[in-house]
Amino acid sequence: MNKQLDKFDRALVVATYFGFLPITAPKVTKRDIELTKDCGNHPHYDAADKASVVRTYLEENFASRPHPFALAYEKHASRKKFGNYALHFIGSSSGIAEATLIRTTLSILSEEGFKNLSVDINCIGDRESINTYERELTSYIRKFGANMSEEWKQRTKEDVFNLFKLETPEALRLAETAPSSINSLSLPSRIYFKEVLEYIEALGIGFRLTPMLVGEKNHASHTIFAVRNSENERMNTLAIGYRYSRLSRFFGLRKEIPMAGVSIFSTPLGATIKKRVYKILPKPKFYLVQMGREAKIKTLTLIELLRNHRIPLHHFIGKDKITVQLSNAENLRVPYLIIIGQKEALDDTATIRNTITRAQDTIKIVDLPHYLKNITL
């Protein structure tokens, strides 16, 4: 999994701006498939691929790395029906994980030529919330699904969430008025989902609450999101993401490893854009240091702004402690720091500091790309 890549395509390069490390895809083993056999085989929910990430995390002792961290890879040809690329944010139970995955996915798809992207989002919560919701759905189906076909009844008996995956007229009609999972959320799950939505709203990303987006009950949890192409129904769903921390238990762990991921699907439109291959990744000369929640939100917005101007930067977006961030910047020997604290976040500014001379300037964020391209500090 740590094999050094010798070439990078456009999607992987975009992911690096947001802190994702491009790697070779972990091999999905027979054991991974066996462990996740009860997780269905829906193309949107690739449990075996995510199990391979958990297994590799354990085998390669990823627990010893600084957390959180993020990985990106192109899926093996044999897994392409489950998506073309995968992004994983590991080690954070904060809403910053979902916000980073959504922001990065939108940027990758924009580079592929998509202009009218929308985000659908829902939350099924923790194990307690999911159990409560299952009971609600089962009761609903018993009450209103009595006249449905035997095949339909069997499918919902196997997995009550199949109500939202069946595309027959009877299933679609019943799904429209089914109970919402949000009403079954436990208090901790409500607090968590509120944080996720606050991050997404602060990023200026439009979204739609979509109760029918429920994921896969045996390994998905908490937030489920889908990025859609609002222009073309034929290739409507471009990405699906969710938390899959529950897979840790499949490997015998008593404590879940916080993990969230997204699969980005190959599309005909993407294929029309000339595929460019890069031999080396951009080498940043800036390290972005953020302090406080408002600053963290600004960080994702700033990364996208600088990415559009092809200005790469290092950062440790999941970390709150400034000492850890400064230590990381020192190890990377970058010549400049970009600092966003509480005051800068409120003023829409950033402080640029020369790491050698300690000289610094405070610049409006809107002017930052031009300033960094011509820096003389």
H or E stretch at 278: strand 277-278
pLDDT of 151 reads 80
Q: Which domains does the chain have, with CATH numbers?
A: 8-126+186-272 (3.30.930.10), 127-182 (no CATH), 282-373 (3.40.50.800)
E strands, 29-104, in order: 69-74, 85-90
Strands 360-364 and 349-354: antiparallel
Successive 10-residue mean pLDDT values, the chain, 377 residues: 68 92 92 90 89 94 90 88 91 93 95 88 95 93 82 83 83 88 96 93 90 91 92 74 94 92 74 65 90 85 92 86 88 93 92 94 95 88
Do 334 and 351 touch, CB atoms closer than 8 A?
Answer: no
pLDDT of 309 reads 94
Closest CA to 214 of 263, 160, 168: 160
pLDDT of 121 reads 96
Rounded to a whole number of angstroms, the distance between the first and last alpha carbons of the chain is 40
pLDDT of 3 reads 55
pLDDT of 113 reads 86
pLDDT of 58 reads 93
Amino acid identity, residue 112? E
Do 223 and 213 touch, CB atoms closer than 8 A?
Answer: no
pLDDT of 336 reads 95
pLDDT of 78 reads 83
